[in-house]
């Protein structure tokens, strides 16, 4: 069984999801970790990346090509699968090889349904961050460079950074997410939310009400028209728990909810809940986490 | 300028989706059908351009059975100019590459400058058809698009990525898969609804189209049930907060 993992890099080395996949792939078969190199500049279009990978895949015939389900990974994976005319399994949360097929678990209907799907090999899949464990102290996998191909009719113009994104872990890859809803009453509350996120090393999330109101950027929205997330810990502050929001976060390992409405739907999915004032909770909990982390 | 927007009819986002008794499909009785949410953002993106450049033509297309016409009429009522339905036996059963091939032949006939679709449909959540259509056409595609700026020598396209937007420029035809953006899709107007009711929706047959790979659904199930959590009520929120931090560290082991 020949498995490819297409890795992505962040400023401090290979992305965690790439390492998770390399470790998982090694249990499935003979693994090669590849990384697409830009031919010029630093931005590679999905079509250029897929073209470079397809050329090599045609020559080497991998059985299964795995991507992290990041925005870039999903985009390149879909184009590559189309190029190679292979089945594409997107945003898988589990994978197994069964004979000459791959079986995967993935969400459908924005997470309202869990599907087990099967595709004949060869196939392409993208896998959610945090789907597979990553043991501490593993050496970085060896990475083979693949040159991007051409993207006729498309050129890179510029990058426009989001003002508020400075230095935080990405939402899709975060192990801990602190998410805020309408109950936080306004954008000023995020000073306190960010203080908690800093202590936890967490990414910031938001309900749709919050991004629609312009309190937070759209890319922080969790739920049906936002991101589906699967962190170890999801803390929902002042979020009532509309079905579209729940769909995006119920696969989190541990869910904490704080809301003053005892009947809020968010409590139905919470592992720990506090019925109370989120503004009393936030500073007290931030201090308590500091103490807990320090071993007190 | 002509836009072609590929839309899919899916259960409305407020639907409580239930797995059918066969375990491999969902219950469709009593479901309210709607345009997939990201496809609505694609329609809005094109209509916004039409607002500023009224000679813009916004065409819509879908692959599916007879009820799919309701979704097309909904888009017509929002202000789209014309609609086409690709239909026939098995039109509901097509895999993404089959749908892409069906759409390709329509694109070649309708000759749009840009093709838009949602970044993924909200039923199968795959995000495969858009890139696959671009591949079938030999066009570039840009995903997670939140904004476009067409000009005489091409179209600037904003691609939402982690930490910001990459801006790309397409010199000719391109497929754009649209992400939610700040501008909410408009509601159909009453005159729009009346006009949409009367519009002819031409049909194209699906027969003889290539659908090279399939994804077999082995089993569908609801997500694992949650609940039965420890909920602290009627007490001192600050004390609860301190207790919670200890539980997260010692019991849940996530700190």
Name the β-bridge partners of B92: none
Question: Which chain B residues contact residue A111 at CB under 8 A?
Answer: 223
CA-closest candidate to residue A54, choices A142, A146, A127, A144:
A146
ipTM of this model? 0.94
Q: What is the 3-state composition of chain A as percent helix, strand, coil, each rounded to the nearest 5?
A: 35, 30, 35
Average pLDDT, chain B: 94
User: What's the whole-number mean pLDDT along residues B159-172?
Assistant: 94
The answer to whether the CB atoms of A251 and B238 lie below 8 A apart is no
**Calpha distance A264→A239 (Å, rounded):** 8
pLDDT score recorded for residue B31: 94
Q: By the 8 A CB rule, do B212 and A85 touch?
A: yes
Mean pLDDT value across residues A92-117 = 94
Structure tokens at B219: 């089993």
CB within 8 Å: A291 and B245: yes
Confidence of residue B181 (pLDDT cuts 50, 70, 90): confident
Distance CA A85, CA A171 (A): 31
Instruction: Decide if A160 and B229 are in contact by the 8 Å CB cutoff.
Output: no
Are B226 and A225 within 8 A, CB to CB? no
Q: Are A247 and A112 in contact (CB under 8 A)?
A: yes
Q: Which residue of A has its CA nearest to B38?
A: A225
Q: For residue A4, name the pLDDT band (cuts at 50, 70, 90).
A: very high
Average pLDDT over residues B190-198: 95
Can you give the pLDDT at residue A273?
97
Model pTM above 0.95:
no
- Given a cut of 60, whether residue A165 has pLDDT beyond it is no
Region class of B194: left (phi > 0), else alpha (psi between -120 and 50), else beta: alpha
Angstrom distances, CA of residue A217 to CA of A171, B114, B163: 12, 27, 11
Residues of A in contact with B237 (CB under 8 A): 274, 276-277, 280-281, 284
Torsion-angle region of A41 (φ positive above 0: left; ψ -120 to 50: alpha; else: beta): left
The per-residue pLDDT for A40 is 80
For the cut 90, the answer to whether the pLDDT of residue B116 exceeds it is yes
pLDDT, residue A219, reads 87
CA A230 to chain centre: 7
**What is the tens place of the pLDDT at every residue in A185-233?**
999 999 999 999 999 999 999 999 999 999 998 889 999 889 989 999 9
User: Rounded to an integer, what distance in angstroms lies between the CA atom of residue A13 and that of residue A23?
Assistant: 16
Least-confidence region, from A78-87, A118-127, B154-163, B203-212: B203-212
Rounded Cα distance between B89 and A118, Å, is 24
Task: Give the C-alpha separation, B177 to B6, whole Å.
Answer: 10
Chain A with chain B: Cβ pairs closer than 8 A: 281
% of chain A beyond a pLDDT of 70: 98
The region of weakest confidence among A112-121, A163-172, A239-248, B183-192 is A163-172
The pLDDT > 90 percentage for chain A reads 84
With residues binned 3-state (H G I as helix, E B as strand, rest as coil), the percentages for chain B, rounded to 5, are 30, 30, 40
Local structure of A156: helix, strand or coil:
strand
Cβ A107–B125 below 8 Å, yes or no? yes
pLDDT of residue B210: 67
The pLDDT, as a whole number, for residue B242 is 95
pLDDT of A166 strictly over 70: no
3 state DSSP class of A237: strand
| DSSP string across A39-98 | SSSS---HHHHHHHHHHHHHHH--SEEEEESSHHHHHHHHHHHHHHT-EEEEEEEEEEEE
- DSSP-derived secondary structure letter, B191: H
User: Looking at per-residue confidence, does B131 or A164 come out higher?
Assistant: B131
Query: Which residues, including other chains, have CB under 8 Å from residue B21's CB and lie 6 or more apart?
Result: none
Q: B149: distance to nearest CA of chain A, Å?
A: 13
Q: Find the CB nearest A154 among B168, B241, B255.
A: B168
Q: What is the pLDDT of residue B209?
A: 66
Q: Which of B82, B94, B244 is nearest to A256 (CA)?
A: B244
- What's the token pair of residue A220? 């922080």
Q: What tokens appear for B15 in the block? A: 């639907």
pLDDT at B225: 86
Q: Which chain B residue has its CA at the smallest distance from A109's CA?
A: B123
Among A247, A267, A21, A246, smallest CA distance to A114 is for A247
Residue located via tokens 């989001």: A162
Note the pLDDT tens digit of each residue in B47-99. 999 999 999 999 999 999 999 999 999 999 999 999 999 998 878 788 899 99
Q: Per the CB < 8 Å rule, is B219 touching A116?
A: yes
Q: What percent of chain B has pLDDT over 70?
A: 98
Test A271 with B252 for CB contact under 8 angstroms.
yes
Which strands form B141-151's sheet, in the order they lie side by side?
A: A154-161, B164-170, B154-161, B141-151, B174-178, B114-118, B2-6, B57-63, B82-87, B203-205
Is A81's CB within 8 Å of B132's CB?
yes
Query: Token pair of B179, please?
Result: 């992400």
Q: Which pLDDT score is estimated for A164?
A: 62
Residue B48: closest CA among B6, B10, B78: B78
pLDDT digits (tens, 9 = 90+) for B198-238: 999 999 998 666 677 778 999 999 988 888 899 999 999 99
Selected for mutation to probe chain B from A47, A173, A212 (highest B CB count within 10 Å) is A47
Tokens encoding A223? 């739920």
d(CA A276, CA A250): 22
Dihedrals phi, psi of A56, to nearest 5 degrees: -70, -40
In degrees, to the nearest 5, what angle opens at C-alpha B102 toward C-alphas B101 and B108?
Answer: 85
- Look up residue A45 and give its two tokens: 């279009």
Specify the pLDDT at position A42: 82
User: pLDDT tens digit string along A28-84?
Assistant: 999 999 999 998 888 999 999 999 999 999 999 999 999 999 999 999 999 999 999
CA distances, B81 to each of A142, B63, B90, B91, B203 (Å): 54, 18, 27, 24, 16
- Do residues B206 and B102 make contact, with C-beta atoms less than 8 angstroms apart? yes
Tell me the HSE value of A102 on the side-chain side, using a 13 A CA sphere. 32
β-pairing, A143-147 vs A30-37, is parallel
Chain A residue numbers with beta carbons less than 8 Å from the beta carbon of B216 are: 117-119
Residue A131 contacts residue A33 (beta carbons within 8 Å): no
Q: Is A273 helix (H, G, I), strand (E, B) or coil?
A: strand
**Mean pLDDT value across residues B92-116:** 93
> Mutate which of B97, B158, B173, B244 to test chain A, going by most A C-beta atoms within 10 A?
B244
The lowest-confidence range among A113-117, A134-138, B26-30, B195-199 is A134-138
Tokens standing for residue B160: 């939402």
């Amino acid at each position: 069984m020949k498995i490819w993992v297409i890795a992505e890099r962040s400023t401090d080395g290979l992305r965690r999801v790439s390492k998770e996949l390399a470790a998982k792939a090694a249990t499935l078969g003979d693994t090669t970790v590849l990384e697409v190199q830009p031919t010029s500049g630093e931005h590679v279009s999905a079509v250029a990346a897929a073209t470079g990978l397809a050329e090599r895949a045609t020559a080497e015939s991998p059985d299964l090509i795995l991507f992290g389900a990041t925005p870039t990974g999903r985009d390149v994976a879909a184009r590559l699968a189309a190029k190679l005319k292979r089945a594409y399994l997107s945003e898988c949360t589990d994978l197994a090889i069964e004979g000459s097929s791959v079986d995967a678990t993935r969400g459908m209907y924005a997470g309202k349904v869990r599907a087990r799907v099967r595709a004949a090999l060869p196939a392409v899949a993208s896998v959610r961050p945090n789907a597979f464990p990553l043991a501490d102290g593993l050496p970085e996998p060896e990475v083979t460079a693949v040159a991007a191909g051409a993207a006729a009719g498309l050129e890179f113009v510029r990058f426009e950074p989001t003002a508020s994104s400075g230095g935080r872990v990405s939402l899709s890859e975060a192990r801990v997410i602190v998410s805020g809803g309408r109950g936080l009453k306004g954008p000023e509350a995020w000073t306190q939310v960010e203080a908690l996120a800093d202590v936890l090393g967490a990414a910031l999330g938001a309900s749709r009400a919050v991004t629609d109101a312009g309190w937070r950027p759209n890319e922080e929205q969790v739920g049906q028209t936002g991101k589906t997330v699967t962190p170890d810990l999801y803390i929902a502050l002042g979020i009532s728990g509309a079905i579209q929001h729940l769909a995006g976060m119920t696969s989190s390992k541990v869910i904490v909810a704080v809301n003053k409405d005892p009947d809020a739907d968010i409590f139905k999915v919470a592992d720990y809940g506090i019925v109370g004032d989120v503004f009393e909770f936030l500073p007290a909990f931030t201090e308590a986490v500091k103490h807990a982390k320090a071993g007190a | 300028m002509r836009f072609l927007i590929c839309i899919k009819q899916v259960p409305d986002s407020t639907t409580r989706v239930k797995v059918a008794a066969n375990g491999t499909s969902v219950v469709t009785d009593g479901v309210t059908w709607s345009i997939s949410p990201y496809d609505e953002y694609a329609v809005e993106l094109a209509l916004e351009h039409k607002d500023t450049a009224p000679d813009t033509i916004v065409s819509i297309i879908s692959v599916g059975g007879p009820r799919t016409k309701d979704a097309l009429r909904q888009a017509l009522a929002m202000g789209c100019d014309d609609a086409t339905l690709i239909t026939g036996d098995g039109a509901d059963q097509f895999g993404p590459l089959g749908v892409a091939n069906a759409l390709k032949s329509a694109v070649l006939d309708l000759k749009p400058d840009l093709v838009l679709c949602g970044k993924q449909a909200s039923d199968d959540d795959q995000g495969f058809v858009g890139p696959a259509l671009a591949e079938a056409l030999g066009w570039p595609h840009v995903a997670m698009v939140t904004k476009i700026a067409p000009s005489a020598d091409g179209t600037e396209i904003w691609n939402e990525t982690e930490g910001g937007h990459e801006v790309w420029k397409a010199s000719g035809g391109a497929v754009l898969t649209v992400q939610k953006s700040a501008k909410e899709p408009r509601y159909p107007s009453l005159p729009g609804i009346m006009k949409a009711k009367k519009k002819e929706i031409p049909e194209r047959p699906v027969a003889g189209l290539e659908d090279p790979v399939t994804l077999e659904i082995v089993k569908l199930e609801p997500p694992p049930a949650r609940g039965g959590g420890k909920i602290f009520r009627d007490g001192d929120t600050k004390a609860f907060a301190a207790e919670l931090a200890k539980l997260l560290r010692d019991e849940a082991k996530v700190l």
